[in-house]
Amino acid sequence: MRPGARTDVGPPLRFLSSGPGLGFGAWAVGGTEWGVASAEKDRLAAVRRALELGITFFDTAPTYGDGASETLLGRALKADRDRIAIATKVGPRDDPRRSLEASLRRLATDYVDLIQLHEALEGWERQLERLHTLQEQGKALGVGLCNATHRQLVRALEIAPVIAYQGPYNLFDRDVEQRELPLCRERQIAFLAYRPLAAGLLSGKYLAPPEFPAADHRRKIYWFKGREFERRRTAIDGLASIARRLDMPLSGLALAWVLGQPGVSIVLAGARTPEQVEQNLTGTRPLTPGTFTEVDRIVAEAFPPLRATDDLKRQAATWGERERFIVERLDGKTSAETIAALWTDGNSTAMVAAQVKVFCDQLAEQGLVD
C-alpha cells in the first residue's frame, strides 16, 4: 500500500489511477501572507524549476496574493499548457462564473483541469452545482471540493461528479485519516493533501516559537506557540535524526511520509525559490515500512491521549455540550482526532483535533488532566 512516489501527475481525469505524486502548491508564490515577499523573479524561477524537474500539477486560488499566484502561473506555464494540469478554486461567497473567468484570464488559459469549491460554507450545494455547470460548458475538466466534512463530501457526490477532495494532512495533523481519506479510497476520489509541511514547521528551522510579521497567516496557527509548539518541537528532534540517517532534509522525510499514505493522490508542496523545489523533490524517495513505523512512534509519543481527573468530571457536569463531549472521552486511550470525528459524525457543526488539543491544554494548565 506504499508504492514509490511519482512526479508525473497528468490531468485530473487521469490522476485517480496515476499513483501518488508531488504537486506544486502555489499559495506562497502569490507573494503575500508568507512572511517577507521574495522577489518575483525568484518565485517565477521556482515554478519553472518545478516544471523542469517533472512536477506537472499546479494548485492555486484567486485569493493567493489577490490573483498574483494565478498570474505568475500563467506566465510560467503558458508554453507548456498541454502537458500540465492546473487546479484553481472558487470562494464560498464568490460568483462562480465571474470568479473562474477572471482566473482563466490571469492563468492565460481557456480552461482549468480542476475547479474546486474552496470551502463548504452555508449554501455550498448551490455553489457546487454552478461549478458543475461551468464544467459542462468546458471551462473545467473536473470538479473538486476543499475543506469539507465527510458528510458534506458524501452529499457532494450526489450533486456533481466530484473527482477530487483537498484537505490538510501531515504527519502531525491527521484528522482526515478518521473519515475523509477512507471515504476517498472507497469512492475512488483523488485526495489532494495540502499543508504537508505544517506551514513550514516541518522544515525544522524553528527552534523557538517564531514571531511572524503582522500580515503572515501563520500568526494565527496554534502550533507555532505554547504547549503545541513544544510538543511538536520535541517530535521534530527525533524526526530530524531519522532524516539525517536517510541523508535527506526533514522536509523531504515529511513529504515522503504523506506520499506513502494509502489513498493520497497528490501532495501539494509550496516553494518560493528553485532551491526549495529541489529540496521538496527529495520527498519523492519512498520510505521503508520500518521508517514509517519509526515516524509514527515518535509522533505518538509526543501526543499521548489524556485522561480526565475526577475533579474535571465533576466540574464538566455543568459545562456546555461540546466541552462535556470532549471530557467524557478523555479516557487515556482516545485520540484528539477520534474525539473530533465522533462529534462531527453526529452534529451539524464540525470539530477538528486542533480544537480538542487547545481545550485540553487549558485543562492541563489547571491540573485537570493526567
DSSP strand pairing (114-117 vs 57-59): unpaired
Q: Which of 64, 165, 169, 194 is catalytic?
A: 64
Signed CA dihedral, 253, 177, 122, 349: sign only: negative
Tell me if the pTM is above 0.85: yes
Q: Does the annotation count 206 as an active-site position?
A: no
pLDDT tens-digit profile, the chain (370 residues): 223 322 333 344 444 334 569 999 999 999 889 988 788 999 999 999 999 999 999 999 999 999 999 999 999 999 999 989 999 999 999 999 999 999 999 999 999 999 999 999 999 999 999 999 999 999 999 999 999 999 999 999 999 999 999 999 999 999 999 999 999 999 999 999 999 999 999 999 999 999 999 999 999 999 999 999 999 999 999 999 999 999 999 999 999 999 999 999 999 999 999 999 999 999 899 999 999 999 999 999 999 999 999 999 999 999 999 999 999 999 999 999 999 999 999 999 999 999 999 999 999 999 999 9
Pairing label, strands 162-168, 85-90: unpaired
